[in-house]
Amino acid sequence: MAQEVMARQELIEVTNPATLEKVAQVPVASTEEVKQAVARARHAFAQWKDRPVRERVEYLYAARDWLVDHKDEVIDTICSETGKPRTEALLAEVFYCCDALTFYAKNAERFLRDDSRSLHLLKNKKVYVSYQPLGVVGIISPWNYPFTLTFGEAVPALVAGNAVIIKPSEITPLSGVLTSRIFREVGLPSDLIQTLCGYGEAGAALVDECDMIAFTGSVETGKKVAARAAQRLIPVLLELGGKDPLIVLKDADLERAANACVWGAFSNSGQICISIERVYVEEPVYDAFVSKVLEKTKQLRQGTEQTYGQVDIGSMTMPEQIEIVEHHVRDAVQKGAKVLWGGKRNSKLKGLFYEPTVLVDVDHSMEIMREETFGPVLPIMKVKNVEEALRLANDSIYGLAASVWTKDKSLGANFARKLEAANVCINDCIANYMAIEAPYGGMKESGLGRRHGEWGIRQFCQPQTVLIDRFGLRREPFWYPYNAKIARWVERSMKLLYRRGLRAKLRS
Tell me which residues are annotated as active site: 239, 273
Count the neighbouring beta carbons within 10 Å of the beta carbon of residue 455.
17
Question: What is the full DSSP assignment across 244-286?
Answer: EEEEE-TTS-HHHHHHHHHHHHHGGGG--TTSEEEEEEEHHHH
Q: Cα separation of 267 and 330, whole Å?
A: 22
Specify burial of residue 462 (Cβ count, 10 A radius: 0-12, 13-18, 19+).
Answer: middle
Q: Which of 416, 410, 444 is nearest to 429 (CA)?
A: 416
Handedness of CA 338, 296, 309, 92 (dihedral sign): negative
Q: Which of 368, 371, 344 is nearest to 356 (CA)?
A: 344
Handedness of CA 113, 118, 124, 125 (dihedral sign): negative
Q: Calculate the alpha carbon distances from 399 to 233, 303, 443, 448, 486 in Å.
A: 25, 32, 5, 11, 51
Q: Cα separation of 375 and 364, whole Å?
A: 18
SS3 (DSSP) at 304? coil
Q: Cα separation of 157 and 340, whole Å?
A: 46
| Cβ 121 vs Cβ 419: under 8 Å | no
Q: Which of 432, 147, 86 is nearest to 276 (CA)?
A: 432
Q: Cα separation of 61 and 410, whole Å?
A: 41
Q: Cα separation of 335 and 315, whole Å?
A: 27
Greatest Cα pair distance, the chain, in angstroms, is: 89
What totals of helices (H) and strands (E) does the chain contain, helices first?
18, 22
Q: Cα separation of 422 and 400, whole Å?
A: 5
Under 8 Å CB-to-CB from 219, ≥6 apart: which residues? Answer: 240, 241, 372, 397, 445, 446
Q: Cα separation of 238 and 141, whole Å?
A: 11
